[in-house]
Amino acid sequence: LPIELSRKDLKATNHSVVDWCMANQTLRHYPILAHGNEVVESDLEYLLERKATITHCPLAHRWFDRRPFPFSLYQKRGVPVCLGTDSPAGSSNARFDLRLEVEEFRAHHPQVSTQEAWAMITTGPAQALQRASQLGSLCPGAWADWVAWRVPATGDLLESILKHRQNAEWTCVGGLPTHQETI
């Protein structure tokens, strides 16, 4: 929203942020919208039309004591939701650790599988950025950006990675490895 328009002003009009964006034609195609806490069902058609993706930051959501995140509403209508981290000023996640965000999200949405949660921090964001062939997965032609943790080689490996709390042993950005990163 423009600086001159506050949430208080918007509430007085009985319109949502998405209503305002639609009326003023300010939402481009493929927007990535931060938080998405205050959505109403009538907003969803416009979000789908604009091919919007919501980036939810669960720990910031908890920090600010927001009402429950409307994940089921987004999910029911097919609006993609990714998970992200927010500033340490408004979150307990000072290390920007996406695994902590996944843990918090799944505590409130236990129906989300490990694979779905993993996609919400890998392939989902890549699709939102329109870079699915370059980001979010380890495949030929993709950029070589990855993080490696030492986890048990038994059981559900994705679950092990998401629950693991040690620093990464390796990172690789743009194909260049770095050792002993503190991610």
Domain residue spans of the chain: 7-138, 144-183
Question: 157: part of which helix (H) or strand (E)?
Answer: helix 157-163
Chain segment 142-157, per-residue pLDDT in tens: 988 888 888 888 889 9
Q: In the predicted model, is pLDDT for residue 11 greater than 70?
A: no
Residue 142: count other Cβ atoms within 10 Å of its Cβ: 16
Fold of 7-138: TIM Barrel (3.20.20)
Q: Tell me, what's the pLDDT at 173? A: 86
**pTM, rounded to two decimals:** 0.87
User: What's the mean pLDDT when you consider all of the chain?
Assistant: 88
Predicted confidence band of residue 123 (pLDDT cuts 50, 70, 90): very high
Q: How far apart are CA 150 and CA 164, in angstroms?
A: 9
Q: In the predicted model, is pLDDT for residue 79 greater than 60?
A: yes
Residue 178, burial from CB neighbour count under 10 angstroms (0-12, 13-18, 19+) = exposed
Predicted confidence band of residue 7 (pLDDT cuts 50, 70, 90): low
Range in 27-31, 32-36, 103-107, 148-152 with the lowest mean pLDDT: 148-152
